[in-house]
Amino acid sequence: MKILVPIKRVIDYNVKARVKPDQTGVDLANVKMSMNPFCEIAVEEAIRMKEKGLAEEVVAVSIGPAQAQETIRTALAMGADRGIHVTTDQTVEPLAVAKLLKAVVEAESPQLVILGKQAIDDDANATGQMLAALLGWPQATFASKVEKDGEALAVTREVDGGLQTVKVNLPAIVTTDLRLNEPRYASLPNIMKAKRKPIDAKTPEDFGVDIAPRLETVKVTEPPKRKGGIKVESVADLVAKLKNEAGVL
């Protein structure tokens, strides 16, 4: 089985994002970037499946600027076999990403595509579902456990009411949740080996995909600063403030 793992380069989760002075977007100048945390989980799960003998090859694919090669190298250092870099300096929306991934899937013929449920920069939570729709493949989203079940996968997914287990026939799309696994740290020898692993360079034009944006960002603002709490003298005062000031009762 070949596994394809789409990954995304985003602002590191430890960095506080800053809005540009002209409010046209988020300031990315001199900001630490890293692999999206949900993507790390997807890479880890794919590698674990390979270590169990369930997969022969893990291919990491990223869509973005030249610096996205660093993100692919991180996946290779974790244990992926090779990478595919679709180079573009444009901001690529989820639908365009799904269309590009569909073209990559058609070229690579994987039996499983496993990706993070969302990216922490736009929180769109749409690419996996769109890709499944474009391919006509079954999908299992928000996976907290993935097990091979014959020619299918049994996926435990997190829902509002608790846990739900679904069975999907391969080929399939799986999106990962936080509790699926704990991603490994790449060792120094593996980091050195990753430098020799191949990364195929592609462009959207190679796949004939139009990535022109369908959405326009009108304005980006920082969330309002939270106000400090107050102490009340009695339960009656608390109820009155919740009812009259907060409007939650």
DSSP 58-107: EEEEEEESTTHHHHHHHHHHHT-SEEEEEE-SS---HHHHHHHHHHHHHH
Q: Are 78 and 43 in contact (CB under 8 A)?
A: yes
Three-state SS at 168: strand
* 185, two tokens: 């740290």
Q: How many alpha carbons fall within 13 Å on the CB side of residue 42?
A: 30
The pTM score is 0.86
Average pLDDT over residues 40-66: 96
Question: Would you list the domain boundaries of the chain?
Answer: 2-246
pLDDT band at 241 (very low <50, low <70, confident <90, very high): confident
pLDDT band at 244 (very low <50, low <70, confident <90, very high): confident
* 40, two tokens: 């790390």
pLDDT of the residue at 152:
94
| Dist. CA 29–CA 32, nearest whole Å | 9
| Distances, alpha carbon 207 to alpha carbons 5, 38, 92, 114, in Å | 18, 26, 15, 21
* 216, two tokens: 């326009």
Q: Give which of 163, 101, 87 is closest to 131, Cα–Cα.
A: 101
For the chain, percent of residues with pLDDT exceeding 90: 73
Report pLDDT digits (tens) over 105-143: 999 999 999 999 999 998 999 999 999 999 999 999 999
pLDDT band at 217 (very low <50, low <70, confident <90, very high): confident
Report pLDDT digits (tens) over 146-155: 999 988 999 9
| Dist. CA 20–CA 9, nearest whole Å | 19
Q: What is residue 203's DSSP assignment?
A: -
Report pLDDT digits (tens) over 5-48: 999 999 999 988 888 889 888 888 889 999 999 999 999 999 99
Mean pLDDT is lowest, of 25-34, 81-90, 107-116, 193-202, for: 25-34
pLDDT band at 159 (very low <50, low <70, confident <90, very high): confident
pLDDT of the residue at 248:
77
For the chain, percent of residues with pLDDT exceeding 70: 100
Q: In this structure, which CATH number among 3.40.1440.10, 3.40.50.720, 3.40.50.2300, 3.40.50.620 belongs to the domain 2-246?
A: 3.40.50.620
| Dist. CA 91–CA 158, nearest whole Å | 30
pLDDT of the residue at 222:
86
Average pLDDT of the chain is 93
101 pLDDT higher than 80: yes
Q: Give which of 55, 28, 26, 25 is closest to 42, Cα–Cα.
A: 55
| Dist. CA 103–CA 210, nearest whole Å | 12
Burial class (CB in 10 A: 0-12, 13-18, 19+), 91: middle
